[in-house]
């Protein structure tokens, strides 16, 4: 059913009123650090009652996943209504109530490839932030060449027996469940892979954190020692997991590409003025940095317009199937440029690593974290290969 302008106006008025009444004041300010971001899940410690309440209220309404169907915990909104919700949240500076691999990656894959029982079981829990997920794709010898993965899952009666190792598993030590690629037929490469869901509390699963240059340990090595996984946790057909894996990756790449937009970072120009000051004519008092920031802000505006265009093309079924690689590449480079400029604008202060003045080195750590943007979800070199071959039609090597 198409909506009239009046329907949408009514929806906007009601949404505005609901947000005014239900978004706690503390949730109308940007998150001040990583610890302030809500990931949900059974092991998550809420930073405040406001954070817990905001997730609960948005989850009950299905507005953590506004366009998912209602029977699966979504809001059942049209794309026009979801755009209005985003605008109204931005107007009030409401935080996104939940960051979630379940929403960004597994949810879309389950909606397309999951059984009805899997959709009804997992999707509402993802929408309400009750399960936190991690992604078990990469292995020590399978990164860019992911289909070389060797973690073995042997089918025995009504379960798989899983053995092997994953690496770079973001938040494996905090997640409740993992969506995982396993080898179920060693005689074939791409058609010997299956996509399964593993409860991280199953005996035989263990994790070991890996430290990053930002000083944090957001990811782990994950080990499987004869882990029993019920056959009902297989998504799609046996040995057909590669199709699901690739579909999920397009969503992951779009999510990483849009990272700068989604995380609502402080505007670079305003931060630079705060750090450096203005000249007599009211402009940033550093002509070289000023020109670089202007170039960045123009590129960022163009990228935002491109994201909107691709979103519309995708809804009309007209987006290029490999466009997520181009978005991922450009968005990752843009986010790295943003934080290079933030550090340049902040001077020596921006490099402070500890202490309350810098919020425990929040800017320096965010800058170092962006280095991983061009690796996670597939490296920049690999995305450029995809763009060259599949979008530009250039011959392969």
Ligand X SMILES: Cc1cc2nc3c(=O)[nH]c(=O)nc-3n(C[C@H](O)[C@H](O)[C@H](O)COP(=O)(O)OP(=O)(O)OC[C@H]3O[C@@H](n4cnc5c(N)ncnc54)[C@H](O)[C@@H]3O)c2cc1C
For ligand X, the binding residues (CB under 6 A) are 134-138, 143-144, 168-170, 219, 372, 375-379, 381-382, 385
Q: Minimum CB separation from ligand X for residue 168, in Å?
A: 3
β pairing state of 152-156 and 159-170: antiparallel
Residue showing the smallest CB distance to ligand X in the complex = 143
- The smaller minimum CB distance to ligand X, of residues 167 and 272, is found at 167
Q: What angle do CA 41, 52, 11 make, to 5 degrees?
A: 105
SS3 353: coil
CA atoms within 13 A on the CB side of 294: 8
Instruction: Count CB-CB contacts under 10 A for residue 165.
Output: 17
- The smaller minimum CB distance to ligand X, of residues 282 and 395, is found at 395
What secondary structure letter does DSSP report for 372? G
- The smaller minimum CB distance to ligand X, of residues 124 and 164, is found at 164
Helix (H) or strand (E) holding 133, with range, is strand 133-136
The answer to whether the CB of 200 falls within 8 A of the CB of 178 is yes
CA atoms within 13 A on the CB side of 43: 11
CA dihedral of 52, 221, 376, 321, whole degrees rounded to 10? -90
Report d(CA 221, CA 136) in Å as an integer.
Answer: 10
- The smaller minimum CB distance to ligand X, of residues 220 and 323, is found at 220
- The smaller minimum CB distance to ligand X, of residues 27 and 106, is found at 106
- The smaller minimum CB distance to ligand X, of residues 276 and 362, is found at 362
Q: Minimum CB separation from ligand X for residue 266, in Å?
A: 22
Q: Minimum CB separation from ligand X for residue 148, in Å?
A: 10
Q: Minimum CB separation from ligand X for residue 49, in Å?
A: 30
SS3 204: coil
Q: Minimum CB separation from ligand X for residue 101, in Å?
A: 7
Q: Minimum CB separation from ligand X for residue 387, in Å?
A: 12
């Amino acid at each position: 059913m198409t909506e009239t302008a009046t329907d949408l106006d009514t929806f906007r008025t009601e949404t505005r009123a609901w947000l005014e009444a239900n978004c706690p004041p503390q949730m109308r300010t940007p998150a001040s650090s990583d610890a302030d971001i809500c990931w949900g899940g059974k092991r998550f410690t809420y930073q405040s009652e406001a954070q817990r309440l905001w997730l609960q209220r948005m989850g009950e309404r299905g507005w953590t996943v506004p366009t998912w169907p209602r029977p699966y915990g979504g809001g059942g909104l049209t794309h026009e209504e979801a755009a209005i919700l985003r605008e109204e949240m931005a107007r009030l500076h409401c935080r996104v109530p939940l960051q979630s691999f379940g929403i960004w990656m597994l949810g879309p894959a389950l909606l397309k490839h999951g059984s009805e029982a899997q959709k009804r079981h997992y999707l509402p829990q993802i929408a309400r932030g009750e399960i936190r997920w991690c992604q078990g794709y990469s292995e020590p010898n399978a990164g860019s060449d992911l289909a070389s993965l060797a973690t073995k899952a042997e089918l025995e009666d009504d379960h798989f027996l899983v053995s092997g190792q994953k690496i770079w598993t973001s938040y494996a030590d905090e997640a409740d469940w993992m969506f995982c690629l396993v080898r179920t037929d060693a005689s074939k490469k791409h058609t010997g892979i299956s996509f399964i869901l593993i409860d991280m509390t199953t005996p035989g699963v263990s994790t070991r954190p890996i430290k990053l240059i930002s000083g944090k340990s957001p990811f782990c090595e994950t080990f499987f020692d004869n882990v029993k996984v019920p056959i009902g946790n297989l998504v799609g057909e046996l040995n057909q997991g590669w199709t699901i894996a690739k579909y999920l990756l397009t969503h992951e790449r779009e999510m990483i590409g849009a990272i700068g937009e989604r995380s609502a970072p402080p505007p670079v120009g305003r931060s630079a003025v705060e750090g450096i000051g203005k000249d007599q004519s009211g402009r940033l008092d550093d002509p070289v940095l000023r020109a670089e920031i202007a170039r960045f802000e123009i590129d960022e505006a163009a990228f935002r317009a491109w994201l909107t265009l691709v979103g519309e093309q995708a809804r009309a079924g007209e987006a290029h199937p490999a466009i997520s690689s181009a978005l991922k590449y450009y968005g990752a480079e843009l986010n790295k440029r943003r934080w290079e400029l933030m550090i340049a604008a902040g001077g020596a202060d921006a490099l402070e690593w500890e202490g309350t003045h810098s919020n425990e080195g929040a800017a320096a750590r965010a800058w170092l974290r962006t280095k991983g943007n061009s690796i996670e979800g597939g490296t920049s070199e690999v995305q450029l290969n995809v763009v060259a071959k599949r979008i530009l039609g250039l011959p392969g090597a």
